[in-house]
Amino acid sequence: MVENWDVIIVGAGTAGIPAAIFAGQRGAKVLLLDAADKIGGTLHLTTGQMSAAGTALQKKLGINDNPKDHFDDVMRISENTADRDLVKLAVDNAADTFDWLMNNGFTPLKNHPVLGNAHEPYSERRYYWGPYAGISILEAMSPLLDEQIASGQVVISLKTKLKNLILNNKKIIGIDIEAEDGTKATIKGKNVILSTGGYSSNPELFRELSGPKLYWKGAYPYSRGEGLTLAKKIGGVLRGGENYLCGYGAILKSFNYPTEITTRVISHPHIRLPWEIHVNIKGERFFQEDYDSVHIREKKLLEQKNLMSWVIFDEEINKKSPALLKDFSKEDTNSFFSNHPMFYIADDLGDLARKSGVEEEGLKKTISEYNYSIENNKPDPFGRIHRPLKIEKPPFYAICTHGVSITSTVGLTVNSQLNVIDAKKEPINNLFAAGEILGSGQTMGKCSAGGMMLTPALTFGKLLGQKLLSW
Ligand SMILES: Cc1cc2nc3c(=O)[nH]c(=O)nc-3n(C[C@H](O)[C@H](O)[C@H](O)COP(=O)(O)OP(=O)(O)OC[C@H]3O[C@@H](n4cnc5c(N)ncnc54)[C@H](O)[C@@H]3O)c2cc1C
């Protein structure tokens, strides 16, 4: 058994796997631990959308792109809230990461790259994902990791949890671990990489760090923020809470949070123009429903109580409009009104308000103003153009939606070498971090910039293994 590992990597997920592969290829003796019984972490769940500029695939397709434009796009979309140094480090090295995956069998979908669609689009086609989402990425990396394991450079220990970081004279010298059967051990290492992911499977920590309740139970079960908490205990500094943002329009299965998502309301006007109105708990509209900016919608939602909004319509709209819910037909949608806690139907607006929890007076006033402006051909106060029908024919319908997020905004502060730093901005020697443990608030800022969690996770893990560590 190795007495003093060159590199101990805690977390065999998106960031940890490339770190292990590249450190192993460079001749390091690597111990790769994971609390789960398999490698992969969030790659088992993620949509797998990456962004990279200047890739070989773009060149082949004649797309003239470069990291500077990628950087400018992320800073534009995030309204300069992302961490410039980390974004630059990620985008400058993203093409290498993407090309490396492609050289090892990763194949994106046929029409890729694209501009984006669920998030605010990029100004150039630099957004890619594979047919099996995160698994397409894992499948490209696994054989490379297997090679390192076979050659003895990397040793994997699954069902093994990090329990403590051992600090000696401002330097990490090892870690305490605990196996699933309760066996404890202390391991020495010259470098420790924390790639334990986020905290979005830990409702208490989510509430403490991100702010709102954890509504959605959809993150990797081991994303409990343990690495983050342990690093904080020895002087690591957390940051980014002000950048919390959530996705729009999730229909949760129940009010027993955290819970699963049944589906989402299609709120992207380029996919489906709105026939309904969206209101907050006061019954007031709060954004222009037909304005095609995901980012603006998401930011407006942040100002609404409990991140909740209700989609309101009447029988005529129900009959004439295209299907409103992602992956569900109109028939399916209508069946939810008899058996789903987020769907309400009533013969008058007062009853609809009482059933759905929206303020009655506000709802009635909003609908009357909306109808009046259509009837009299007056401009909409929010600037909405697409107003095909008034809301006037019973029965009336309401669907309750929540703003949800499954990623972790807050993360550890690192320097440009990905070395964890303390409150005095001094490095905690030998302690490095990569992946969601750095917080989405850094690599995306207060926005959802396409691929800007996965790409940095893979890229930072790769860079640590490839060149940032020494032993
Ligand atoms: C449903 C979903 C969709 C997403 N879609 C996208 C997308 O399309 N594009 C994008 O950019 N981002 C996306 N993200 C975010 C992105 O996938 C993640 O931020 C990224 O994969 C996290 O990588 P990671 O290496 O930090 O963590 P992970 O891949 O989760 O790896 C962390 C590993 O650490 C292990 N671990 C945790 N605690 C301990 C401990 N105490 N001891 C030992 N091991 C531990 C875990 O078991 C896990 O294997 C999505 C996330 C989700 C959940």
End-to-end CA distance of the chain: 18
Q: Whose CA is nearest to atom 31 of ligand 1?
A: 13
**Are 295 and 447 in contact, with CB atoms under 8 Å apart?**
yes
- The domain of 263 spans 247-404
**Amino acid in the structure at residue 329:** S
Q: Whose CA is nearest to atom 53 of ligand 1?
A: 219
Do 293 and 364 belong to one domain?
yes
Residue 138 within any structural domain of the chain: yes
Do 251 and 305 belong to one domain?
yes
| Number of alpha helices (DSSP H) and beta strands (DSSP E) in the chain | 14, 20
Probe residue for ligand 1, chosen from 17, 39, 46, 463 as the CB with the greatest number of ligand atoms within 8 Å: 46
Do 59 and 101 belong to one domain?
yes
- Residues 245-271 have a mean pLDDT of 95
**CATH number of the domain bearing residue 171:** 3.50.50.60
Ligand 1 contacts (CB < 6 A) are 10-16, 33-36, 41-43, 45-49, 161-162, 195-197, 218-220, 222-223, 226-227, 406-407, 435-437, 451-454, 457
Probe residue for ligand 1, chosen from 9, 122, 142, 196 as the CB with the greatest number of ligand atoms within 8 Å: 196
The band of 1, judged by pLDDT with boundaries at 50, 70 and 90, is low
SS3 363: helix
Residues 418-459: tens digit of each pLDDT: 999 999 999 999 999 999 999 999 999 998 899 999 999 999
Would residue 149 be called left, alpha or beta, if left means φ above 0 and alpha means ψ between -120 and 50 degrees? alpha
pLDDT (0 to 100) of residue 188:
97
Cα→Cα distances 253→57, 216, 262, 337, 402, Å: 40, 9, 5, 13, 11
What is the Å distance from ligand 1's center to 212 Cα? 20
Q: What is the mean pLDDT of the chain?
A: 96
Do 181 and 131 belong to one domain?
yes
Domain boundary among 378, 404, 430: 404
Do 258 and 322 belong to one domain?
yes
What is the Å distance from ligand 1's center to 458 Cα? 10
Do 156 and 265 belong to one domain?
no
- Residues 58-77 have a mean pLDDT of 97
pLDDT (0 to 100) of residue 295:
86
What is the Å distance from ligand 1's center to 112 Cα? 23
The count of domains in the chain is: 2
Residue 227 within any structural domain of the chain: no
What is the Å distance from ligand 1's center to 221 Cα? 10
Do 324 and 189 belong to one domain?
no
Do 184 and 49 belong to one domain?
yes
What is the Å distance from ligand 1's center to 192 Cα? 18
pLDDT (0 to 100) of residue 119:
81
What is the Å distance from ligand 1's center to 342 Cα? 29
**CATH number of the domain bearing residue 392:** 3.90.700.10
Do 172 and 302 belong to one domain?
no
- In ligand 1, which atom is closest to the CA atom of 161? 42
What is the Å distance from ligand 1's center to 152 Cα? 26
Instruction: Enumerate residues 6+ apart whose C-beta is below 8 A from 313.
Output: 275, 276, 277, 321, 391, 396, 397
Angle at 62 between CA 61 and CA 65, to 5 degrees: 105
Rounded to whole angstroms, how far apart are CA atoms 49 and 450?
A: 7
Residues 311-322: tens digit of each pLDDT: 999 999 999 999
Do 364 and 448 belong to one domain?
no
- In ligand 1, which atom is closest to the CA atom of 436? 26
What is the Å distance from ligand 1's center to 14 Cα? 6
Q: Does position 118 have pLDDT exceeding 80, yes or no?
A: no
pTM (2 decimals)? 0.95
Rounded to whole angstroms, how far apart are CA atoms 33 and 432?
A: 15
Do 324 and 438 belong to one domain?
no
Q: Does position 292 have pLDDT exceeding 90, yes or no?
A: no
Q: Whose CA is nearest to atom 48 of ligand 1?
A: 41
pLDDT (0 to 100) of residue 294:
85
- Residues 412-423 have a mean pLDDT of 97
What is the Å distance from ligand 1's center to 270 Cα? 30
DSSP letter assigned to residue 80: T
Residues 202-249: tens digit of each pLDDT: 999 999 999 999 999 999 999 999 999 999 999 999 999 999 999 999
